[in-house]
Amino acid sequence: MTDRVSRRLDGRRALVTGASRGIGAAAAERLAAEGADVAITARTLDAHDHLPGALTATAERLVRHGATGATVVADLTDEVDRARIVPEAVERLGGPLDILVNNAAAAIYQPLAEMSAKRRRLMFEANVQAPLDLAQAVIPAMRAAGAGWIVNVSSRAARPWDGPPFELGANGTVIAAYGASKAALNRITNGLAAELHGTGIRVNTVEPRAAVRTEGADALVGSSVPSDKFESLDEMVEATVALCDCPEDVTGQAFVSLDLIADWCLTVHGLDGTPR
């Protein structure tokens, strides 16, 4: 086994959303370690009011790997604001995008019987409309190049509960609206892949088997999820990055991170690209 980084993404350009912390920041760093130039986007450039991490901190890590890094501050829930993300990323990276990772998400946990229309709209705007808008923005250049990779980060919450009786777990039904938005994202991913099959553009989703220990997950679920149900950030990123470099016939699928790693016999690497 070698401890050298493969640099398999040399010459490619990527955009990662929700990259100020968590899975997005980690995926952006790993893409940079593998040789890609990476544009990152989130709502705030510097520190968040309640959570650690910032676009500026992620950008500094990209540069350490020798990548060109570009930051685009935008609100994905605003249709006009998010329309600038891809054009600005292309301009700042110096060319069209080869990879799009739609990681950003709005997760509002509340019983369905109490959730306002405003909150439902916000989640679907961030989790469904924004990923599709960004995909539509990158598709023309990917189609012209004959290749492209779109990876949408989904969630176990997209799966319906069997029942009755229903075994809801510690959080009850509060994840149902969020899960519905992710189920919609899975279906759009599959449909988009079917439309684009034969163009060289791969479109897939990846989700953790249960949960990934990130700042956001800690804030949302805290101790309600047993520690043995969490997978490492490195594992989730390994599966995500694998789909950023998958063969043309791998498209339209919804992958579970740990299953993909096992099925493809992948070695899990750190964010610097070296084997753990």
Tokens matching residue 190: 């599959």
Q: Is 109 a catalytic residue?
A: no
| Strands, E assignment, 51-112 | 69-73, 99-102
Name residue 38's beta-bridge partners. 14, 69
Evaluated on CA atoms 130, 59, 91, 23, the torsion sign reads: negative
Tokens 């593998």 correspond to what residue? 34
| Strands, E assignment, the chain | 13-17, 37-42, 69-73, 99-102, 148-153, 201-207, 211-212, 230-231, 254-256
Q: Which of 19, 31, 123, 178 is catalytic?
A: 178
Cα–Cα distance for residue pair 83/88, rounded to 1 Å: 9
Three-state SS at 17: strand
Tokens 């189609």 correspond to what residue? 143
Active site residues: 178
